[in-house]
């Protein structure tokens, strides 16, 4: 694959990556959210594979494969399990309405681009110039976690943050050491597990997973 | 190998062994093991200090020990002087701990307390040899945290200990923040973190920067030294800590605050303008007067000793202030004399304060109380302790033949002989300083007569005092070592002269203001001299001669009762109490002390004209604390209470805080 | 005319000279006590009221007042028997004060003297035989001089104490 084609494909993958994050912000059905997350995981894998191919590194390819299995396979499966046990299917009444959320996402993307300017300036390749996308996805994930009420939305927000961080790591360095990626993934798996348990307990105690029911964490 | 390096390695190594041993040893042997190891560690520190003071320098860099900056150690004569002080006090405390912390393994003998004790002493030994800003800050904070843990040793026994711990923690951290800002600013301005680098570059800094840095460092170091108005932690912490910790804090740790001022003011910043030193002198005068006033009316023995520490630090700061002013005027001989007095006084104070706190610890251990109004009559069951405490009190009262007399005499001489070039400010300040020292010494005499007279002599005022027994041999040995030090410093202080000369040279205050003569101190350029050995021998000889002559030549003696106004027998209830002894002084200084009195009259149920009981309560508050600190503490508490509304319990709000913070930081990064 | 003026002048000077002086002229001295010779004319007196009706105390107070002015003759009141040479005692010694009087006497450094003032001190006076009375002063402490009277006049007290000072 020529250099030109691979950089075009990379840009496409990054653009779609950002769009899936916006989609997560837009859709309210939990099953749709999980599908979008799977798609995002696949896109991240694509980015990693493209970078591995560019650098001709077998280790990076192995990492990409691992990421693909984890983010596009295992994590969505766990989410679907949670969703099956806890049958509320829609995010109701977000704290910030959808149109405002989309506008906020646009603002956060701009902020991501502005803040990552020094990284872009120091970048040597096309992948380096795409780093702001990862930062924007991190900010959008944070926003999602802060403004949605269901516990499962918090999980998805955290997952977005992790995907964004992974994207920044790949794009800025052109490949992440295996050890680092393994560590981050283990962390992520643990986080998802904890949040899954939390959701179960919330549902068992309150009959719903509305996080506003939890008000005990104060002085 | 360099003897300083060997000594310091031995000090820290033995301290670590002691700390580890405290974890592993069963409680029966713990105090003995830790005490012995700490004492040997202290002796190694003394050896290292003496080696440093003889002029052998030493520098070492240990890059891996601290992250980013590494540890830099630099020992010169000034470090050596303070290392000797710390090491000597540690030795005495180590011996003392064998007896004091022995027993049931709770309180001072607990595992935590004995583990942290050697850490504290090792950190204190490292402060004078710190050679860079990160090293100094790291060991300073280690020392502060270790001492805080030790202060809280008996928190289960008394509620006052918790309050003392909170005050101490807050003030020591505030002082540390001031120090941190000051030293880091200095390092940033000069471009180097090591003291050598700062020293060479500090001359080119603008006066505003050096002035601000000096004030910040002064705030940090003066609060650790216990200078008024940064003193409220001192009477609380020193009184509530177990006595071996009080010894370390009062005799060694406050001296490190003085070391800091000397290091930053004279060495790193190279002297500075005159107003710095006038501020230091004013702080010193205030501390001396206020400290001794509060000590004179204190009814708690350890609070009395703590305020006496504040007073002595005040005298030291007064001397330092004058050194700076005289050095700035170019009069190095007079400045050298003042600094000699200051340095001698640091050693003397360390010696007698160790002794006094050791005695106080013995008293508390034997009777269970610190209140002078409940003590008394200890001279019979505890004669050795009383003799040692009397030695310490004589020194603290600055009367001949005590060691406090020598250094205060030198201090007065420094104020009386400012030499040529004395301008208006100095002409006004010097007599004021003399007046301050004179008043302080006078009130100090009253204070220590009160402490020894009401605390130890006459008859026991309460049951706990009546049940006292003498302390174990290790505690007496420790007191004996400290007393021997006091006596040696009292009769042959000139032994320290060569060391002093080298320290003065290191601070660029050259010359030998005190001529070297083994038996006496002769001030160069004046006709003033004092021969403490002859003084001591003379006093003892004359007293002895008079006593013997009176006995042999006088008339036959007849024993009679103590006059009791005819209606005896005299009970302990009729003795002077500490409160009544100090009452005339308290009345004279009523405006300053402002005692609070509370009279509670309970009338008889049958008739309002008859009184069933009257309760009188008098308390002398710490006015500076009330005027200065209460408003600050109340404001902070009010702000904190209102800030509670931020933590409402909603998870979304917390997440929103995080998001907003992240966005703000990013925006700030973008804008800049 | 000048005679009258000089008479007025001399009278004025005499008035100025005698202004504030109200003391009675010195009377007769009482008999000198040989035991008091060692005091060399300076006598410190401690007074003990061993149970008197205070009539003698009033007269003693008058003796020390500016009118009778015993301090001219070297006698001074002190606050503690430890400072005293002479103990003056009034009143019959009551049961409650017997030991206190004895202690006051023993607290005095030697040479020490006792002067019993008033009839009660001499022989219990009108209180003789009372249930609270232990006895006259000479029963409790050895007495060196006595001043009879109920109460004795200040002149008599002054004369007796002058016998101790010899002035």
Residues of chain C found within 8 Å of residue B563, distances taken between Cβ atoms: 80-82, 107
Token readout for B86 is 């710390």
Lowest-confidence region among B70-79, B106-115, B620-629? B106-115
Residue C132, min C-alpha distance to chain B (Å): 18
Q: Is the pLDDT of residue A212 over 80?
A: no
Average pLDDT over residues B594-617: 91
pLDDT band per the 50, 70, 90 thresholds, residue A52: confident
B647·A143 Cβ contact <8 A = no
The average confidence (pLDDT) of chain B is 90
Query: What pTM, to 2 d.p., does this model score?
Result: 0.79
C106·B567 Cβ contact <8 A = no
CA dihedral C61, C62, C68, C74 (to 10 degrees): -10
Q: How far apart are CA B573 and CA B586, in angstroms?
A: 22
Chains A and B touch (3+ CB pairs under 8 A): yes
What pLDDT score does A59 carry? 76
| DSSP label of B628 | I
Q: Which strand (E) or helix (H) includes residue C77? A: strand C75-77
Residues of chain B found within 8 Å of residue C97, distances taken between Cβ atoms: 566
Residues of chain B found within 8 Å of residue C108, distances taken between Cβ atoms: none
Buried b (16+ CB within 10 A) or exposed e, B268-287: bbebbebebbbbbbebbbbb
Decide: B316 and B349 in contact? Cβ < 8 Å: yes
Residues of chain C found within 8 Å of residue B564, distances taken between Cβ atoms: 103
What pLDDT score does A70 carry? 82
Interval B415-432: pLDDT, tens: 888 776 667 888 888 899
CA dist A88 → B119, B153, B428 (Å) = 58, 55, 85
Render A78-106 in DSSP notation, one character per residue.
HHHHHHHHS---B--S-SS-HHHHHHHHH
Chains C and A touch (3+ CB pairs under 8 A): no
Q: How far apart are CA B480 and CA B391, in angstroms?
A: 10
Interval B128-187: pLDDT, tens: 999 999 999 999 999 999 999 999 998 888 889 999 999 999 999 999 999 999 999 999
Of A142, A149, A211, the CB nearest to B659: A142
- Among B155, B346, B117, B116, which residue's Cα sits nearest to residue B236? B155
Of A139, A211, A219, the CB nearest to B651: A211
B194 φ, ψ (degrees, to nearest 5): -85, 150
- Among A157, A165, A29, A38, which residue's Cα sits nearest to residue A105? A157
Interval B106-121: pLDDT, tens: 778 788 889 999 999 9
What pLDDT score does A92 carry? 64
Residues of chain B found within 8 Å of residue C81, distances taken between Cβ atoms: 563
Average pLDDT over residues B626-636: 91
Considering A161-165, B440-444, B546-550, the range whose residues carry the highest mean pLDDT is B440-444
B560 touches chain C (CB under 8 A): yes
Q: Which residue of B has its CA nearest to A117?
A: B670
What pLDDT score does B179 carry? 96
Q: Is the pLDDT of residue B102 over 70?
A: yes
Best probe of the B interface among A113, A214, A219, by most B CBs < 10 A, is A219
Token readout for B351 is 């010696």
A212·B655 Cβ contact <8 A = no
Decide: B135 and B72 in contact? Cβ < 8 Å: yes
Interval A6-32: pLDDT, tens: 888 888 999 999 999 999 988 888 888
What pLDDT score does B610 carry? 92
Place of tokens 């990409």: A64
C48 φ, ψ (degrees, to nearest 5): -120, 125
Q: How far apart are CA B345 and CA B500, in angstroms?
A: 12
Q: Which residue of C has its CA nearest to B562?
A: C107
pLDDT band per the 50, 70, 90 thresholds, residue B472: very high
Start-to-end CA span in chain A (Å): 60
Q: How far apart are CA A126 and CA B91, in angstroms?
A: 68
Q: Which residue of C has its CA nearest to B555?
A: C110
B561 touches chain C (CB under 8 A): yes
Average pLDDT over residues B272-300: 94
Residues of chain C found within 8 Å of residue B561, distances taken between Cβ atoms: 103, 106-107
Average pLDDT over residues C13-39: 84
Decide: B216 and B174 in contact? Cβ < 8 Å: no
Residues of chain B found within 8 Å of residue C101, distances taken between Cβ atoms: 566
Q: How far apart are CA A57 and CA B263, in angstroms?
A: 58
Decide: A106 and A34 in contact? Cβ < 8 Å: no
State what percent of residues in chain B have pLDDT above 90: 60
Show which subunits contact B, needing at least 3 CB pairs below 8 angstroms: A, C
Average pLDDT over residues B23-40: 89
Residue B571, min C-alpha distance to chain A (Å): 57
State what percent of residues in chain A have pLDDT above 90: 20
Decide: B503 and B77 in contact? Cβ < 8 Å: yes
Average pLDDT over residues A98-126: 86
Q: Is the pLDDT of residue B637 over 80?
A: yes
Q: Is the pLDDT of residue B454 over 90?
A: yes
Place of tokens 């403490």: B532
- Among B592, B591, B593, B601, which residue's Cα sits nearest to residue B621? B593
B666·A111 Cβ contact <8 A = yes
Q: Is the pLDDT of residue A91 over 80?
A: no
Of B654, B659, B669, the CB nearest to A143: B659
Bridge-based pairing of strands B58-62 and B529-530 is: unpaired
Q: Which strand (E) or helix (H) includes residue C133? A: strand C133-135
Lowest-confidence region among A11-20, A162-171, B343-352, B413-422? B413-422
B650·A145 Cβ contact <8 A = no
Q: Is the pLDDT of residue C66 over 70?
A: yes
Place of tokens 């583990």: B115
Residues of chain C found within 8 Å of residue B567, distances taken between Cβ atoms: 100
Residues of chain B found within 8 Å of residue A146, distances taken between Cβ atoms: 652, 655-656, 658-659
Q: How far apart are CA B308 and CA B246, in angstroms?
A: 13
What pLDDT score does B423 carry? 77
E strands in B36-185:
58-62, 71-75
Q: How far apart are CA B170 and CA A135, in angstroms?
A: 40
Instruction: Write B430-434 long-range contacts (CB < 8 A, 24+).
Output: B430/B322, B432/B285, B433/B281, B433/B285, B433/B318, B433/B322
Place of tokens 């109460």: C151
Is C2-165 CATH 3.40.50.300?
A: no
Residue B168, min C-alpha distance to chain C (Å): 52
E strands in B271-351:
none
B662·A142 Cβ contact <8 A = yes
Q: How far apart are CA A157 and CA B380, in angstroms?
A: 78
Chains B and C touch (3+ CB pairs under 8 A): yes
Token readout for B288 is 């001396």
Considering A32-46, A68-82, C87-101, the range whose residues carry the highest mean pLDDT is C87-101
Decide: B104 and B369 in contact? Cβ < 8 Å: no
Average pLDDT over residues B524-546: 83
Q: SS3 of B99, please? A: helix
Q: How far apart are CA B372 and CA B579, in angstroms?
A: 9
Buried b (16+ CB within 10 A) or exposed e, A77-96: ebbeebbeebeeeebeebee
Q: SS3 of B342, please? A: helix
Average pLDDT over residues B83-95: 96
Of B644, B649, B659, the CB nearest to A217: B649
Q: Is the pLDDT of residue C3 over 60?
A: no
Average pLDDT over residues C45-56: 95
Residue B567, Cα to own-chain centre: how many angstroms?
47
Burial class of residue B637 in the structure, from the number of CB atoms within 10 Å of its CB (0-12 exposed, 13-18 middle, 19+ buried): exposed
Residue B37, min C-alpha distance to chain C (Å): 57
Domain boundaries, chain A: 3-213
pLDDT band per the 50, 70, 90 thresholds, residue B542: very high
Residues of chain B found within 8 Å of residue A145, distances taken between Cβ atoms: 655
Cis peptide before C151 (omega within 30 of 0): yes
Q: Is the pLDDT of residue B592 over 80?
A: yes
State what percent of residues in chain B have pLDDT above 70: 97
C106·B560 Cβ contact <8 A = yes
Residue C64, min C-alpha distance to chain B (Å): 23
Helix axes B133-151, B159-190, angle to 10 degrees: 180
Q: How far apart are CA B86 and CA B122, in angstroms?
A: 9
Decide: B6 and B56 in contact? Cβ < 8 Å: no
Which residues have a Cβ under 8 Å from the Cβ of B591 and sit 6 or more positions away? none
What pLDDT score does C34 carry? 87
Q: How far apart are CA C103 and CA C118, in angstroms?
A: 21
Q: Is the pLDDT of residue A88 over 70?
A: no
Residue B554, Cα to own-chain centre: how many angstroms?
47
Render B224-249 in DSSP notation, one character per residue.
HHT-TTS-THHHHHHHHS-HHHHHII
């Amino acid at each position: 694959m020529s250099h030109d084609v691979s950089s075009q494909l990379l840009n496409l993958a990054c653009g779609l990556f950002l769009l899936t994050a916006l989609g997560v912000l837009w859709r309210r059905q939990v099953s749709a959210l999980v599908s979008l997350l799977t798609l995002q995981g696949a896109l991240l894998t694509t980015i990693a594979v493209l970078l591995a191919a560019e650098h001709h590194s077998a280790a990076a390819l192995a990492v990409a494969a691992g990421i693909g299995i984890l983010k596009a396979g295992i994590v969505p499966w766990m989410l679907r399990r949670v969703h099956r046990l806890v049958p509320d299917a829609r995010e109701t009444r977000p704290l910030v309405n959808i149109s405002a959320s989309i506008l906020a996402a646009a603002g956060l993307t701009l902020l991501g681009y502005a803040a990552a300017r020094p990284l872009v300036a120091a970048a040597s390749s096309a992948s380096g110039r795409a780093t702001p996308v990862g930062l924007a996805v991190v900010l959008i994930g944070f926003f999602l976690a802060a403004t949605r009420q269901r516990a499962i939305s918090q999980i998805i927000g955290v997952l977005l943050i992790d995907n964004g961080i992974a994207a920044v790591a790949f794009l800025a360095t052109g490949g992440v050491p295996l050890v680092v990626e393994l560590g981050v993934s283990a962390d992520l798996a643990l986080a998802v597990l904890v949040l899954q348990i939390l959701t179960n307990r919330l549902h068992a105690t309150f009959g719903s997973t509305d996080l506003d029911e939890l008000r005990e964490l104060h002085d | 190998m360099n003897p300083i390096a060997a000594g310091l390695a031995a000090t820290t190594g033995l301290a670590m062994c002691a700390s580890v041993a405290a974890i592993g040893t069963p409680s029966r042997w713990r105090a003995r093991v830790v005490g012995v190891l700490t004492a040997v560690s202290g002796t190694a520190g003394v050896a290292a200090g003496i080696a440093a003071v003889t002029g052998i320098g030493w520098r070492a860099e240990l890059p891996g020990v601290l992250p980013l900056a590494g540890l830099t150690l630099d020992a010169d004569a000034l470090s050596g002087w303070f290392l000797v002080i710390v090491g000597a006090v540690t030795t005495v405390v180590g011996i003392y701990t064998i007896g004091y912390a022995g027993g049931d393994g709770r309180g001072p003998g607990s595992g935590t307390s004995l583990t942290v004790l050697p850490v504290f002493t090792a950190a204190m030994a490292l402060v004078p040899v710190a050679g860079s800003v990160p090293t100094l800050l790291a060991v300073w904070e280690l020392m502060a945290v270790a001492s805080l843990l030790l202060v809280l040793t008996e928190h289960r026994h008394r509620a006052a200990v918790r309050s003392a711990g909170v005050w101490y923690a807050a003030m020591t951290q505030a002082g540390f923040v001031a120090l941190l800002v000051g030293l880091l600013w200095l390092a940033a301005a000069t471009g180097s973190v090591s003291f050598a680098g700062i020293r060479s570059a500090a001359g080119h800094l603008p006066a505003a920067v050096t002035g601000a840095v000096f004030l910040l460092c002064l705030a940090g170091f003066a609060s650790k030294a216990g200078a008024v108005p940064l003193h409220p932690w001192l009477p609380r912490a020193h009184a509530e800590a177990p006595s071996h910790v009080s010894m370390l804090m009062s005799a060694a740790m406050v001296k490190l605050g003085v070391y800091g001022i000397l290091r930053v003011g004279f060495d790193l910043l190279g002297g500075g303008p005159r107003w710095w030193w006038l501020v230091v002198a004013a702080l010193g005068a205030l501390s001396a007067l206020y400290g001794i006033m509060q000590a004179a009316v204190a009814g708690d023995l350890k609070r009395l000793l703590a305020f006496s520490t504040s007073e002595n630090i005040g005298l030291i700061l007064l001397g330092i202030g004058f050194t700076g002013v005289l050095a700035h005027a170019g009069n190095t001989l007079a400045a050298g004399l003042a600094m000699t007095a200051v340095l001698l006084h640091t050693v003397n104070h360390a010696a007698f304060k160790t002794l006094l706190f050791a005695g106080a610890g013995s008293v508390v251990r034997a009777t269970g109380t610190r209140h002078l109004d409940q003590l008394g009559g200890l001279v019979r069951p505890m004669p050795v302790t009383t003799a040692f405490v009397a030695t310490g009190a004589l020194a603290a009262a600055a009367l001949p033949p005590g060691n406090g007399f020598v250094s205060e005499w030198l201090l007065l001489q420094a104020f009386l002989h400012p030499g040529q070039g004395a301008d208006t400010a100095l002409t006004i300040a010097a007599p004021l300083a003399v007046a301050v020292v004179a008043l302080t010494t006078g009130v100090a005499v009253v204070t220590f007569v009160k402490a020894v007279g009401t605390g130890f002599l006459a008859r026991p005022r309460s049951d706990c005092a009546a049940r006292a027994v003498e302390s174990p041999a290790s505690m007496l040995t420790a007191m004996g070592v400290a007393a021997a030090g006091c006596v040696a410093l009292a009769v042959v202080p000139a032994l320290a002269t060569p060391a002093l000369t080298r320290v003065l040279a290191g601070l660029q205050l050259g010359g030998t203001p005190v001529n070297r003569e083994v038996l006496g101190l002769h001030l160069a350029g004046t006709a003033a001299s004092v021969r403490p050995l002859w003084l001591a021998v003379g006093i003892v000889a004359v007293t002895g001669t008079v006593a013997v002559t009176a006995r042999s030549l006088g008339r036959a003696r007849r024993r009679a009762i103590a006059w009791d106004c005819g209606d005896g027998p005299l009970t302990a209830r009729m003795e002077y109490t500490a409160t009544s002894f100090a009452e005339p002084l308290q009345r004279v200084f009523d405006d300053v002390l402002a005692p609070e009195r509370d009279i509670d009259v309970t009338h008889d149920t049958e008739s309002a004209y008859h009184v069933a009981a009257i309760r009188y309560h008098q308390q002398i508050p710490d006015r500076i604390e009330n005027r200065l600190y209460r408003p600050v503490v109340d404001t902070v508490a009010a702000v904190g209470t209102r800030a509670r509304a931020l933590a409402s319990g909603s998870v979304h709000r917390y997440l929103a805080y995080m998001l907003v913070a992240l966005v703000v930081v990013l925006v700030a990064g973008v804008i800049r | 005319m000048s005679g009258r003026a000089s008479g007025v002048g001399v009278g004025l000077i005499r008035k100025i000279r005698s202004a504030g002086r109200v003391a009675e002229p010195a009377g007769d001295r009482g008999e000198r006590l040989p035991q008091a010779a060692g005091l060399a004319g300076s006598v410190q007196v401690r007074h003990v009221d061993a149970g008197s009706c205070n009539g003698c105390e009033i007269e003693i107070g008058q003796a020390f007042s500016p009118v009778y002015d015993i301090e001219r003759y070297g006698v001074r009141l002190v606050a503690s028997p430890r400072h005293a040479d002479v103990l003056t005692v009034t009143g019959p010694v009551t049961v409650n004060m017997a030991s206190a009087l004895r202690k006051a006497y023993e607290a005095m450094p030697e040479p020490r003297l006792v002067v019993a003032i008033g009839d009660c001190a001499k022989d219990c006076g009108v209180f003789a035989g009372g249930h609270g009375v232990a006895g006259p002063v000479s029963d409790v402490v050895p007495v060196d001089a006595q001043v009879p009277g109920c109460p004795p006049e200040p002149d008599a007290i002054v004369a007796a104490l002058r016998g101790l000072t010899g002035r």
